[in-house]
Structure formats: structure tokens, C-alpha cells
Amino acid sequence: MSYQALYRKYRSQRFDEMVGQEVVARTLKNAIVSHQISHAYLFSGPRGTGKTSAAKIFAKAINCPNQVDGEPCNTCDICQAVTAGALEDVIELDAASNNGVDEIREIRDKSTYAPSRARYKVYIIDEVHMLTTGAFNALLKTLEEPTENVVFVLATTEIQKIPATILSRVQRFAFRAITVQDISQHVSDVLAKEAVPFEPAAVEVIAAAADGGMRDALSTLDQALSFSDQGLTLDVALLVTGAISKQALAAYVQAVAEQDVEAALTQLEQVFAAGKNMSRFTEDLMAYFRDMLLADSLSAQLTKAQLFVWIDIAMETMQTLKNTTQEKIAADVMTMRLAEPLPALSTVDYGQVIADLQGQVAELTQQLQSGQFQAPVTHQALPDKKAAAKTAPYYSKDFVFKALSEATNEARQAIQGAWEEVINSFGSGFGKSLLQNTTAVAASKSFVVVTFDSELIAKKAGQNEDLRVQFGNFMSNIVGFAPEIIALTAGDWSTLRTEYAQLRQQQTSEEVSAAPETSTASAADTRADNQVVDQAHALFGDIVAVIED
């Protein structure tokens, strides 16, 4: 006999076997016992949570001659035929491939015939949200005038796409995402039945990666067991799911907490070199931060305020990762932001401020009553939040400097040569209007610095996700690589460029001064001069002239 996938082998055959859907199972069983069978049901919920399995169990139970307490016997001809998909009175359809009006009309016509073997004719329509508008209208006609002994069970992962006219004519059952604990227990039971040794930590990794779906968990388990013949180990589970080990996360967070940017970037590079997905890494990192908050086991250099800031940074990075092809750069920038010291929180004692104000009011009242009015002295001013908001930069200096360290004159020239064609590729839309009168001033294959006339336009360009995606696509087609836009005003670009050039010159000078005072020193001077010239060409282009003295 051919191999049977675990999610099929261990598919629930009774309501009592359904994991994590106790409310749904109990309600359906009670309806069967009390003979309150409706003509139409809608099962909605995340994928892999048992909707189709529940529909087949329900079809067996309402037709089983040996049904007890709402459960099918699974031994009679009817039950076995439904399980095997061979009972002509139980029809399963996938709306993704049978979504037209003709298919639904055929169902409507055939539903008028009485069942041949079973008591009820049951139509199970999976992914019903995929039906066309015309097909929904044809189905609505059938639901409005139901045929006796015909039951429709509709299943969907996207209930918001179901027309209200359909929703009002069905009984709805919401299947919830299965908890990690329930998935872990079921996966452990399956491994025990299969006589496969396993590590509990590995089971937890698979359960967490399943995202609430039992089918996904069992499919991943199948893959892990195919990879290893030594049972299920933590290393295999991490490899198959792409999850990050707690040790790697702990080392990364420790480096970030110590504000050791170099060590944190090294830890991130190791994760990336192992083939891990940066989006998955960021998700696991947020979960790690949350666990630290819940455990309330913070180290001396960490506070809850710091963790809240970190979580905000990680959430912002998640949004960036969804809209960029430069995942590693986004993760590097996140790491540098996480390692920054937490800005000093306001030290204003608002209780004292209120007490001071109350004292001033009392003093004013006394002066007015005595006729000796004097303007009160304000002891403590409230923080100017608007002024603080105005000084907040719209760009990350660390990100700009990292980008400039990779800049090449060749990439800048290639992009400048294609700039007009790229802008015209946007047609007459909003993207073209934003990029009009702009200049590509520095570039590599990963980024391009673009200067704008005003800070407002630069902000809009930097925050417009559609612009970034379309720009990357056009650049890829025209120059062969897809750089990411760094939007700056011309003034900010000039300031940052000068500051970066001074920083590079200082670093080069320090390297030269550290060289031995021999003939190698002159060679070091030559290399340093070459580095400065190369960097100047990358940032300023052909306007750089080298003067020999």
C-alpha cells in the first residue's frame, strides 16, 4: 500500500476526535440527537482547523443507521463509503475549480432527486467564497427553496467574501485557530502511535509554526520525519520550520541590550547565513520580547519601557519587510536601531506641577483680595511636545551612512542614465508627480539616494509603499537591479554627505596613524588617499578632481 500522509491518516472520523473545536462539535451533535437538521450550514475559520473534516463527520452522522449520541459508528456501509468518498449521496465540490453558474445550476437540478442510499443528500462545497456572483445567485435560489432531505455544508476561510443574502440563509459555525498546546498534544499523540522518538521542544516548535492549523502541523511533521531517520529532534524542527533557536535569539538580544552593534550584526549575519528568513526572524524576535515581558525577568540594563520601544521597532520592520526585496538591509537597520540607547524619558513630575499651579492660584487669589497683584513665577514648565515633534528627523542617519558605505560611481551613473525612463514608466500617476524634478545623487545595487525639493515631499516619497514597489520593478527591468529609495531633501543630503565624508576621512587618518613608521607607512598613505578618492567619486561623481602636489 502506498504511503499515506499523516494529515490524511489521522484525520478526525468522529466529533470527539476533533481537536480545539469542542463548541462546534457539541452543537452539531446536539442538533443530530434532537433531529434539528437545517438545510444549510456555513463553516468558517482558518485553514487546517477541521472544517471539511467536520462536514464529512456530519454527513456520516445524519445518515448512519447506528448513530449514537450524535456520533457515527464508522463501521457500517454508509460510514465507510463516506469516509472513502464513494457514497453518491455525499458530494464534495471545490469552489475554486467549480465556481461557475453552470456548475451550481447542475447542483440545483440534481438536488431535486431523492437520495439513493442514504437518508440525506449532502453537498459539501469547500472554499465557497471563490464562487462568482452569478454562481452565488444560483445558489441563493436553491437555499431559498430547499428540497427535503437535502443538506448544504459550505466551508470558507474568508467569510467576509460571502454575500449577506447567503449568510442570512445558513447556520454559521466559527472554527477557531487551534492553540499551540492542543496542537502539541495531538502531534505528540501521533508520534507515540507511530512509535517515533521525539524531543518535546521540537514538538513545540512545529506547533508554534503551524499558526493555529492542525493540517499544517502534521504536514510539517511529515516533512521533518522524512528528513531525519533518528526521530524528531529540535535541530530538525528548527531546520524544517525555519524557526530561530532560543539560544540564537538570546545571544542577539544580549548584544543589543549591551548596545554592541558589531556583535549584534554578527549574530544576525549568522542567522542569515543559516538560510533563515528575515521576516520569520523578526516574528520570532517579537515573540521573544513578549515572553520577556510576561516572564518579568528583565536584566539590570533592561526595562519594560525599553522592551516596548523594541517591539515598536520590530513591528515597523515587519511592515518594511513586506514591501522590500532588501530584507537583509532592513534587518541590519532594525538591529542598529535596537542597539541605540533609549532616549531619556521626561523627568517632569506632573504631581509637583499641579501642586505648584494650585499654590500659584491660591497666591493670586490672596493678592487680588488684598489689592496687591503680582505676576506669579512659573516654577516648572510643561514639556513642549510640538517642538519635540518638529525636531524628530524623517530619516535614519545610520541607514544613510550604511548605504553610503556601499555606494559606487558605476551604480550612480547607471541609475542617472535611466532616470528619465524610470520616471516616464510611472505614466501620469502620483508616483511620477513625486519623482519629477528629483535627482539620483548616490547609489549602489541595493539603494539610491534621491533628493527632493521639500521635506514634505521627501517624507511622502519615503512612506509611499506603492511608489517603492513600482520603482523597484521599473529599475529591475531597465538597469537590471532593484535599489531601494532613500528620500532626502537637497539640504539634508548636503549635510549628511559632508558629515559622512569627514567621518571617513577621520577613520582613514586613524588607520594611517596606526601604521608602522617605515616604508609601509607611505604605502598606507597611498592606500588611504586612494580610498578617499574612490569614496569621493562614489559620492560626488566626475566633478572630483585629483590635484597632485
Domain 6-174 in CATH 3.40.50.300: yes
Predicted pLDDT at 15: 92
Q: Name residue 268's amino acid.
A: L
Q: Which residues contact 72 (CB under 8 A, 6 or more apart)?
A: 13, 14, 57, 60, 61, 64, 66, 79
CB of 483 closer than 8 Å to CB of 419: no
Distance in angstroms (rounded) separating the CA atoms of residues 520 and 478: 45
Closest CA to 488 of 464, 446, 460: 460
pLDDT of residue 220: 87
Q: Determine contact, residues 360/376, Cβ cutoff 8 Å.
A: yes
* Whole-Å CA distances, 391 to 30, 329, 543: 64, 26, 33
pLDDT of residue 224: 87
DSSP 68: B
Q: What is the pLDDT along the chain (549 residues), one digit of tens a residue?
A: 567 788 888 889 999 989 988 999 999 999 999 988 899 999 998 888 999 999 999 999 999 999 888 999 989 999 999 988 888 889 888 888 877 888 888 888 888 888 888 889 999 999 999 888 888 888 888 888 888 889 999 999 988 888 988 998 899 999 988 898 999 999 999 999 888 898 888 898 888 888 888 988 999 888 888 887 778 888 888 888 877 778 888 889 989 988 888 898 998 988 888 778 888 889 889 988 888 888 766 666 678 888 888 999 999 998 888 888 888 888 999 999 998 876 654 445 556 667 777 777 777 777 776 766 555 444 444 445 444 444 567 888 888 888 888 889 888 888 988 888 888 887 766 677 778 788 889 999 888 999 988 888 888 888 888 788 888 888 888 888 889 899 999 889 889 888 888 888 887 777 666 655 544 445 545 555 555 555 555 555 544 444 555
Question: Residue 376: what pLDDT?
Answer: 47
Q: How far apart are CA 52 and CA 127, in angstroms?
A: 10
Check residue 69 and report its DSSP letter: T
- DSSP character at residue 198: B
Indicate the pTM of the whole model.
0.55
Specify the pLDDT at position 471: 86
Angstrom CA distances, 228 to 198, 234, 430, stand at 11, 11, 53
Strand ranges (E), 36-145: 40-44, 90-94, 121-126
Distances (CA, A) of 203 to 186, 236, 526: 10, 11, 59
Residue 184 half-sphere exposure toward CB, CA atoms < 13 A: 13
Tell the residue number behind the cell numbers 609601509, with chain if given. Answer: 520
- Helix then strand count (H, E) for the chain reads 25, 8
As a dihedral over the C-alpha atoms of residue 256, residue 260, residue 301, residue 321, rounded to 10 degrees, the angle is -20
d(CA 235, CA 270): 16
**What letter represents residue 249's amino acid?**
L
201-215 burial code (b ≥16 CB/10 A, e <16): ebbbbbbbbbebbbb
Handedness of CA 93, 211, 268, 328 (dihedral sign): positive
**Which CATH fold topology does 180-241 show?**
Helicase, Ruva Protein; domain 3 (1.10.8)
- Residue that has been written with the C-alpha cell 454575500 in this structure: 163
Question: Three-state SS for 328?
Answer: helix
Per DSSP bridges, beta strands 40-44 and 447-452 are unpaired
